[in-house]
């Protein structure tokens, strides 16, 4: 591999001829937009490393990605292979095999450097950690991370062992236990990378770095930038068994507080790090692989992997799919997006579209409303700066992309218009008719309605084929889901345009047929109706909400109503009742919510709970006045029977989700689960309501609903048919013991 030899080409790895003893190993996986480490790629790397090691003229090796345009160094392991493994020993063996190949990289006589440009995640980060040094590009998409716990497993190619040894146990814990990636500058500060350079000079800088290392102490070379110093106390804790045990106990409390009992991966990752730190590297790697084997075959891992793969497919779309007939098209980057309404949602959308490279123009009826929109934008940007997600200098550039007005000036050049005014059909029709006269013929009008009929809006439009729904969830800057609603006359081209736009914002679009509440609010409505009925029947709101949090939801149903707002919840309940009939009839208490403008939930400080503070246990206090008003004493609540909360709250969600599938609101069970996980926070480790139904048995759900003896909870035909055919919503998974 010296200058006189030809390059050694393989399917994914190319070893470039060495110059002055330094060679580049380029990873460019054919036929894929991003590099990922499949079993075949690992085997290939093994053979290539043998070839490099046999050439004694190679004294330095730079591992670099060949997909600069995709912004990815190595995206990680092949998730589909993790999904497929069902045998614990097989999973352990795959981890051990990956570890062995990366150990071969780490033990090479040549000085090795990982040149990182773009995402360096999971197995990719572990490969980089197996190198002697790491250089990262100062590029917005360059991130180093070990996100495996988010998929229900732990790093299995040495990450739990090498990262603590490199930067210290205390610094490694939050990286591995949360799965959140580091940007290049943060990684440099922590010592996870040794240099950060301009993207255009990554190759030259990597070569120069290797040359300096070779001229210095080789593998023992230590650049000035490497963060090595830790406090004496921290070094004591990390180097002694009692100290590590203390760190582990503190971390376990934090894990319990943040993720509860349902996610075993963070606990196992902590075990691998703490126990492994007291072992040799080889012993620690064996422990890591053993724990990977236990986790990889669990239902939690499979559910999280399924949700991840489904969400990635939705974000990616179908590159070979139909483009749709008609002239409607998505706006170009840098183009103008018109926003009708400058409230919380309008301001949030303006901030988002500006961050994603568009220009935003907010229109509202008064200067005061426009000012409120700008205040919301400022709040969002300041929050991102405080969290280190954005530089102060970026805010100035982004604000230059945003404008506001009380008329439609400038809307003639808009590439898309999003309506985000109040949930009142007559007002929506009025702004539609006003703006249609200003828009070019190809422009789509997307209504950000949560429940109102797209068909009725189309009936008022001059160009009904260009009307679609684009339901963002609040807060729009954090919630990943967007329901893309197809009205009966929406053209294919218009649907493709709004889906393409949603993806360009980094959102997960789920296509829904027009109908009452679309998908998420329809399914959620059944859940909230039953929650309020339980309050009417005398059950404790606090006990109910805690039970549902224990089930895995981010908050209880009454806490959710307080967050949404009592006025909004009661209005949506009425819409669902009109559209779905008697099974969606809201309880009297829910219908009456919103009647008192001072008791609307969090936005007024009072709802089912008082939102000004918490009790000594850190819980919200019940609003005693509200319960007295409805004739309920907070000291005399009924005691629930075992399993009541799941039977009364979760089973109706499953039933309504099945009704939505029957009505073809969405195409597949996976669409339902994706929407409910990312739109409502339905316990991800359970895989969504329909995956959960499969796990407990459809028959149990049907029997549970029938056992309640309420006509509104009669199981839908789809559930009955699945029981009769002994099937579920999904094909059965293989049992790990099979």
**pLDDT value, residue 615:** 61
Which residues are CB-contacts of 721 (< 8 A; sequence separation ≥ 6)?
none
- Delimit the domains of the chain by residue range: 8-297, 336-513, 520-724
Give the three-class secondary structure for 337. strand
What's the CA gap between 668 and 730, in Å, rounded?
Answer: 10
- CA atoms 708, 712, 714, 716: torsion sign: negative
Q: What is the 3-state secondary structure (H, E, C) of 383-405?
A: HHHHCCCCCHHHHHHHHCCEEEE
Query: Closest by alpha carbon to 537, among 454, 636, 616?
Result: 636
Of 244 and 105, the one with more pLDDT: 105
Q: What is the mean pLDDT of residues 546-560?
A: 94
Active site (catalytic) residues: 471
**pLDDT value, residue 123:** 96
**pLDDT value, residue 593:** 87
pLDDT at 320 over 90: no
- Neighbour count for residue 466 (Cβ, 10 Å): 26
What's the CA gap between 544 and 619, in Å, rounded?
Answer: 13
pLDDT band at 386 (very low <50, low <70, confident <90, very high): very high
CATH topology for 8-297 is: 2-enoyl-CoA Hydratase; Chain A, domain 1 (3.90.226)
What's the CA gap between 121 and 356, in Å, rounded?
Answer: 23
Query: Closest by alpha carbon to 397, among 363, 359, 367, 370?
Result: 359
**pLDDT value, residue 9:** 47
∠ at Cα 395 (392, 398), nearest 5°?
155
**pLDDT value, residue 627:** 86
What's the CA gap between 143 and 680, in Å, rounded?
Answer: 28
What's the CA gap between 23 and 207, in Å, rounded?
Answer: 9
What's the CA gap between 674 and 310, in Å, rounded?
Answer: 7
What's the CA gap between 149 and 298, in Å, rounded?
Answer: 13
Of 241 and 659, the one with more pLDDT: 659
Which residues are CB-contacts of 91 (< 8 A; sequence separation ≥ 6)?
85, 292, 293, 296, 297
Q: Which residue has the tokens 């003229």?
A: 57
**pTM of this structure:** 0.91
pLDDT at 8 over 60: no
Could you tell me what percent of the chain has a pLDDT over 70? 94
Dig out the tokens for 74 from the structure.
Answer: 């190595």
Q: How far is CA 107 from CA 6, 112, 219, 416, 573, in A?
A: 25, 10, 10, 55, 64
**pLDDT value, residue 3:** 38
**pLDDT tens digits for 510-543?**
999 999 999 999 999 999 999 999 999 999 999 9
Q: What is the mean pLDDT of residues 132-160?
A: 96
Strands 481-486 and 508-513: parallel
**pLDDT tens digits for 103-119?**
999 999 999 999 999 99
- Distance of alpha carbon 4 from the chain centroid: 49
Give the three-class secondary structure for 445. strand
pLDDT at 260 over 50: yes
Give the three-class secondary structure for 540. coil
Of 500 and 7, the one with more pLDDT: 500
Q: What is the mean pLDDT of residues 393-404?
A: 95
pLDDT at 1 over 50: no
pLDDT band at 4 (very low <50, low <70, confident <90, very high): very low
Crossing angle for the helix pair 698-707 and 651-662, to the nearest 10 degrees: 110
pLDDT band at 596 (very low <50, low <70, confident <90, very high): confident
**pLDDT tens digits for 41-83?**
999 999 999 999 999 999 999 999 998 777 789 999 999 999 9
Query: Closest by alpha carbon to 222, among 233, 209, 232?
Result: 209
Strand positions, DSSP E, 66-200: 72-74, 111-116, 119-121, 133-137, 143-145, 182-183, 195-197
**pLDDT value, residue 736:** 54
What's the CA gap between 483 and 506, in Å, rounded?
Answer: 14
pLDDT band at 11 (very low <50, low <70, confident <90, very high): confident
What's the CA gap between 277 and 274, in Å, rounded?
Answer: 5
Which residues are CB-contacts of 25 (< 8 A; sequence separation ≥ 6)?
13, 14, 15, 16, 48, 52, 61, 62, 63, 64
pLDDT at 120 over 70: yes
What's the CA gap between 116 and 119, in Å, rounded?
Answer: 8
pLDDT at 2 over 80: no
- CA atoms 557, 558, 559, 561: torsion sign: positive
pLDDT at 696 over 70: yes
Q: What is the mean pLDDT of residues 437-463?
A: 93
Strands 60-65 and 22-27: parallel
**pLDDT value, residue 323:** 55
Q: How far is CA 356 from CA 73, 247, 501, 692, in A?
A: 22, 40, 10, 35
Crossing angle for the helix pair 689-696 and 299-316, to the nearest 10 degrees: 150
What's the CA gap between 318 and 329, in Å, rounded?
Answer: 16
**pLDDT value, residue 5:** 41
- Distance of alpha carbon 176 from the chain centroid: 17
Q: How far is CA 13 from CA 39, 45, 126, 145, 566, in A?
A: 14, 7, 17, 22, 58
pLDDT band at 390 (very low <50, low <70, confident <90, very high): confident
Max CA distance (Å), the chain: 91
Q: How far is CA 347 from CA 335, 394, 436, in A?
A: 18, 18, 22
DSSP letters for 217-229: TGGG---TT----
**pLDDT value, residue 10:** 54
Domain 336-513 has CATH 3.10.580.10: no
Q: What is the CATH number of domain 520-724?
A: 1.10.1040.50
CA torsion, ordered 698, 699, 702, 704, to nearest 10 deg:
-110
Dig out the tokens for 534 from the structure.
Answer: 């339980």
Dig out the tokens for 399 from the structure.
Answer: 């604000």
For the chain, how are helix, strand and coil distributed in percent, rounded to 5? 50, 15, 35
Sheet architecture: strand order including 414-419: 402-405, 359-363, 336-340, 414-419, 444-447, 467-472, 481-486, 508-513
Of 177 and 10, the one with more pLDDT: 177
Query: Closest by alpha carbon to 714, among 603, 619, 621, 582?
Result: 582
What's the CA gap between 33 and 151, in Å, rounded?
Answer: 22
CA atoms within 13 A on the CB side of 38: 14
Peptide bond just before 480 cis, omega within 30 deg: no
Lowest mean pLDDT among 158-162, 237-241, 352-356, 464-468: 237-241
Lowest mean pLDDT among 7-11, 499-503, 630-634: 7-11
What's the CA gap between 331 and 585, in Å, rounded?
Answer: 41
What's the CA gap between 654 and 657, in Å, rounded?
Answer: 5
- Neighbour count for residue 718 (Cβ, 10 Å): 18
Instruction: Specify which residues 9 forms β-bridges with.
Output: 14
Strands 402-405 and 481-486: unpaired
pLDDT band at 643 (very low <50, low <70, confident <90, very high): confident
pLDDT band at 735 (very low <50, low <70, confident <90, very high): low
What's the CA gap between 597 and 19, in Å, rounded?
Answer: 75
**Over the chain, what is the mean pLDDT?**
92
């Amino acid at each position: 591999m010296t200058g006189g030899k030809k390059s050694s080409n393989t399917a994914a790895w190319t070893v470039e001829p060495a110059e002055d003893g330094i060679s580049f190993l380029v990873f460019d996986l054919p036929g894929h937009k991003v590099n990922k480490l499949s079993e075949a790629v690992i085997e290939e790397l093994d053979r290539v490393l043998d070839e490099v090691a046999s050439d004694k003229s190679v004294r330095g090796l730079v591992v670099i990605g060949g997909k600069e345009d995709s912004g990815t160094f190595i995206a990680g392991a092949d998730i589909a292979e993790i999904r497929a493994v069902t045998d614990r020993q097989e999973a352990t063996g795959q981890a051990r095999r990956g570890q062995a190949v990366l150990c071969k990289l780490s033990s090479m006589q040549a000085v090795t450097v990982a040149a990182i440009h773009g995402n360096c995640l999971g197995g990719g980060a572990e490969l980089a950690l197996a190198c002697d040094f790491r250089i990262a590009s100062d590029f917005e998409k360059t991130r180093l991370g070990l996100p495996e716990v988010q998929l229900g497993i732990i790093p299995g190619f040495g990450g739990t062992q090498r990262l603590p040894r490199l930067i210290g146990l205390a610094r490694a814990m939050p990286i591995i236990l949360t799965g959140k990636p580091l940007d290049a500058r943060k990684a440099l500060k922590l010592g996870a990378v040794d240099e950060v350079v301009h993207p255009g000079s990554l190759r030259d800088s990597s070569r120069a770095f290797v040359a300096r290392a070779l001229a210095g102490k080789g593998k023992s070379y230590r650049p000035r930038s490497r963060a090595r110093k830790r406090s004496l106390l921290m070094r004591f804790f990390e180097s002694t068994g009692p100290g590590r045990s203390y760190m582990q106990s503190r971390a376990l409390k934090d894990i319990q507080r943040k993720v509860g009992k349902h996610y075993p991966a963070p606990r196992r990752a902590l075990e691998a790090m703490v126990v492994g730190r007291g072992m040799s590297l080889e012993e620690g790697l064996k422990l890591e692989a053993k724990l990977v084997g236990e986790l990889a075959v669990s239902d939690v891992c499979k559910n999280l992997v399924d949700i991840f793969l489904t969400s990635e497919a939705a974000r990616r779309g179908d590159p070979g799919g139909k483009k749709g007939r008609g002239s409607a098209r998505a706006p170009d980057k840098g183009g103008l997006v018109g926003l009708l309404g400058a409230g919380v949602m309008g301001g949030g959308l303006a901030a988002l579209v500006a961050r994603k490279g568009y220009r935003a123009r907010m229109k509202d009826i008064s200067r005061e409303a426009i000012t409120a929109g700008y205040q919301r934008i400022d709040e969002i940007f300041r929050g991102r700066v405080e969290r280190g997600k954005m530089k102060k200098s970026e805010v100035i550039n982004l604000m230059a992309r945003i404008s506001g007005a009380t008329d439609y000036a400038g809307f003639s050049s808009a590439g898309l218009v999003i309506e985000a005014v109040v949930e009142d059909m007559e007002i929506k029709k009025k702004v539609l008719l006003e703006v249609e006269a200003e828009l070019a013929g190809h422009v789509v009008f997307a209504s950000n309605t949560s429940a109102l009929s797209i068909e009725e809006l189309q009936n008022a439009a001059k160009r009904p084929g260009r009307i679609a729904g684009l339901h963002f969830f609040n807060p729009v800057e954090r919630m990943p889901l967007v329901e893309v609603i197809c009205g009966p006359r929406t053209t294919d081209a218009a649907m493709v345009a709004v889906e393409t736009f949603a993806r360009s914002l980094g959102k997960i679009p789920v296509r829904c047929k027009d109908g009452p509440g679309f998908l998420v609010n329809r399914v959620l409505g059944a859940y909230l109706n039953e929650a309020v009925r339980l309050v009417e029947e005398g059950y404790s709101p606090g006990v109910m909400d805690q039970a549902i949090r224990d089930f895995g939801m981010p908050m209880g149903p009454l806490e959710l109503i307080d967050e949404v707002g009592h006025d909004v919840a009661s209005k949506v309940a009425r819409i669902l009742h009109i559209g779905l009939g008697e099974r969606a009839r809201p309880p009297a208490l829910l219908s009456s919510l919103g009647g008192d403008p001072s008791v609307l939930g969090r936005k007024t400080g009072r709802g089912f709970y008082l939102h000004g503070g918490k009790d000594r246990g850190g819980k919200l206090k019940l609003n005693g006045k509200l319960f007295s008003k409805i004739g309920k004493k907070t000291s005399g609540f009924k005691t629930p029977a075992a399993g009541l909360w799941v039977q009364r709250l979760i089973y109706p969600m499953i039933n309504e989700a099945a009704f939505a599938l029957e009505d073809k609101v969405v195409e597949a069970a996976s669409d339902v689960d994706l929407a409910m996980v990312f739109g409502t926070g339905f316990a991800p480790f359970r895989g969504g309501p329909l995956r959960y139904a499969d796990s407990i048995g459809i028959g149990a759900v049907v029997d549970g609903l029938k056992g309640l003896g309420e006509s509104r909870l009669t199981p839908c035909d789809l559930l009955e048919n699945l029981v009769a055919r002994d099937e579920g919503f999904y094909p059965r998974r293989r049992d790990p013991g099979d």
